[in-house]
Structure 1
């Protein structure tokens, strides 16, 4: 079993692991020569199934195993993210699967180059008695440093992960392109803090008092609300985009689109968001939602699919230098009952 690759986008890799680490300490990482997959399945909270093209993170990748050249690893995200942070200013970085004391490790080798041109001029006595300044050959120029950090991992047998699959959701009632996630995070964090500050003055558990209501319609409207005994706040976005469905991606093609729940929802409601009809709603934990929104640091387009009072599925499309092999992170957020 062998894995070795150069990291061509350390910044993206670092931001990705930081975002995933906020949702769970361990990730199932599936490596192949075509793509790398990160999966977070916590006991409670949001599941993440991320499928990234190799080019979005690695180059010159080599993967070899008896299981069709696929390697499955359990990786501690805190350790991986810490190691990647130290490589942010590196001139090059390489990652490989190795062993130390018979324990599997991901070895991250970082090469940095520091310039010594800023050093003050120095002189040295030559054998002939003349003082001569040091030149680049004698101490100036660039100095290369190589550091290797090791992250303990666990190799997972194919049978161990064979039963793991993405959650199944029914066709969404509403699909909508979200505004910038960091904007949403700022507002949702503010709502959650206000609700927590009101904890002592009202009834109910803290968990119930930090539940956000997130709703959207097929007329470009999104609403975020939180309610407690003492307060009720909401923010509304309008003029957002509801993407058109692709007939090739819907069972039944054009007929399938005509019968799709989102098509029926489009016949209800209004573009100003004032109508009570045509909204799909989910109730989510505000603190968990804030962690999900941290993926906004990666940028990219986000499509939210609302299954009314059941689940919210987010598709985060990472920006690519070219338009091929788009990478997507899929977040599954279950809705609480009323």
Structure 2
């Protein structure tokens, strides 16, 4: 079994890993010859099924295994994210699967170059931290280039992983949802996150006040529920309703993507009979009518974590299954028509009214 690759976009990889780590401490990573998959399935909350083209984050990519060149790993996301964060200013970085003391690890090697005085310095041998990967600053070389002297620093960080057999993962499948009632392109996620977090904080403060100040709402296992609705006329509504408040924000003139008959069962006739087509016959572009809206209710704190993917600045299409689920498709390229596009799929369950 072998995996080795250079990391060509450390910043994107770091932001992507950080967004997943906010939802779960562990990810299932599937590596093969054509793509990289990161899957997060927490005990509660949003699931993420992401498919990245190799070129999105890697270069000089090598994968080999007896299982048709497929490698499945269980990876601790906080450790991986800390390692990547330390490589943000690196000259180059590569990652490989190896063993240390008989246990599998992902070894991240970071190379950085800086100007240095004409002297040799070393930082000592490998040191370990209990809360993160190990560091090795012992491999340092000085390179003379004309009158300047540069120091090349090589740091290695070890992320412990677990190799998963095909039998371990064959029963893991994406959630199945019925056909969505509404498709809509969301406004910028960082904007949406700002409003969502504000509504959630207001509801938590209101809950704490209603309890007489005997405790904070943040100690509750269930956070405030946001109500999110959309129609097929470019309208999106985000609100929160409690005994003490009823507030909402509305966006209009958003885009509703057209369905492609080539990927809809039944082709053109299937598009005509699709729930979203029927919903488009209802409502209006100003959102005045309550007809034609699909609604889901989501946990405010979990939603705030989901919105952290906005730091990747991708196009996001939200699919509303009325009173059932919200599915987000986050595209990491400029166009979802690109055959090699990388897409993150978020499955958010709806709570009962």
- Fold-level match, TM-score > 0.5? yes
In structure 2, runs of 5+ residues without a counterpart are 119-143, 212-216
User: In structure 2, how many angstroms separate the alpha carbons of the residues matched to 1:170 and 1:250?
Assistant: 13
TM-superposed deviation, 1:202: 3.4
TM-superposed deviation, 1:143: 1.4
- For residue 287 of structure 1, what is the aligned residue in structure 2? 301
Alignment partner for residue 270 of structure 1, among 265, 271, 284?
A: 284
- For residue 49 of structure 1, what is the aligned residue in structure 2? 49
Alignment partner for residue 322 of structure 2, among 308, 314, 318?
A: 308
User: In structure 1, how many angstroms separate the alpha carbons of the residues matched to 2:339 and 2:274?
Assistant: 29
- CA deviations 1:293-319 (Å, max 9, x no partner) are 000000110000000000000000002
How does 1:194-213 map onto structure 2 within 5 Å? 194-202=202-210, 206=220, 210-213=224-227
TM-superposed deviation, 1:258: 0.2
Alignment partner for residue 149 of structure 1, among 157, 161, 166?
A: 157
User: In structure 1, how many angstroms separate the alpha carbons of the residues matched to 2:246 and 2:272?
Assistant: 37
- For residue 214 of structure 1, what is the aligned residue in structure 2? 228
User: In structure 1, how many angstroms separate the alpha carbons of the residues matched to 2:112 and 2:223?
Assistant: 49
Q: 1:18 to 1:209 in 2, by over 3 A?
A: closer
User: In structure 2, how many angstroms separate the alpha carbons of the residues matched to 1:221 and 1:296?
Assistant: 20
How does 1:69-108 map onto structure 2 within 5 Å? 69-108=69-108
TM-superposed deviation, 1:209: 6.0
TM-superposed deviation, 1:207: 5.8
In structure 1, runs of 5+ residues without a counterpart are 121-135
TM-superposed deviation, 1:137: 6.2
| 1:331 pairs with 2:346 | yes
- CA deviations 1:78-111 (Å, max 9, x no partner) are 0000000010000100000000010000000000
* Greater C-alpha radius of gyration: 1
User: In structure 2, how many angstroms separate the alpha carbons of the residues matched to 1:111 and 1:208?
Assistant: 44
- For residue 59 of structure 1, what is the aligned residue in structure 2? 59
8 Å CA contact 1:199–1:209 kept in 2: the answer is no
- For residue 161 of structure 1, what is the aligned residue in structure 2? 169
8 Å CA contact 1:7–1:92 kept in 2: the answer is yes
8 Å CA contact 2:26–2:76 kept in 1: the answer is yes
8 Å CA contact 2:223–2:301 kept in 1: the answer is no
Q: How many residues align?
A: 320
User: In structure 2, how many angstroms separate the alpha carbons of the residues matched to 1:48 and 1:182?
Assistant: 19
8 Å CA contact 1:202–1:229 kept in 2: the answer is no
Question: SS in structure 1 opposite 2:148?
Answer: coil
TM-superposed deviation, 1:60: 0.8
Alignment partner for residue 198 of structure 2, among 174, 190, 206?
A: 190
User: In structure 2, how many angstroms separate the alpha carbons of the residues matched to 1:200 and 1:320?
Assistant: 43
Alignment partner for residue 170 of structure 1, among 167, 178, 191?
A: 178
User: In structure 1, how many angstroms separate the alpha carbons of the residues matched to 2:344 and 2:115?
Assistant: 39
User: In structure 2, how many angstroms separate the alpha carbons of the residues matched to 1:320 and 1:84?
Assistant: 24
Question: SS in structure 1 opposite 2:52?
Answer: strand
User: In structure 1, how many angstroms separate the alpha carbons of the residues matched to 2:149 and 2:190?
Assistant: 42
TM-score by length of 1: 0.91
- For residue 124 of structure 1, what is the aligned residue in structure 2? none
| 1:181 pairs with 2:189 | yes
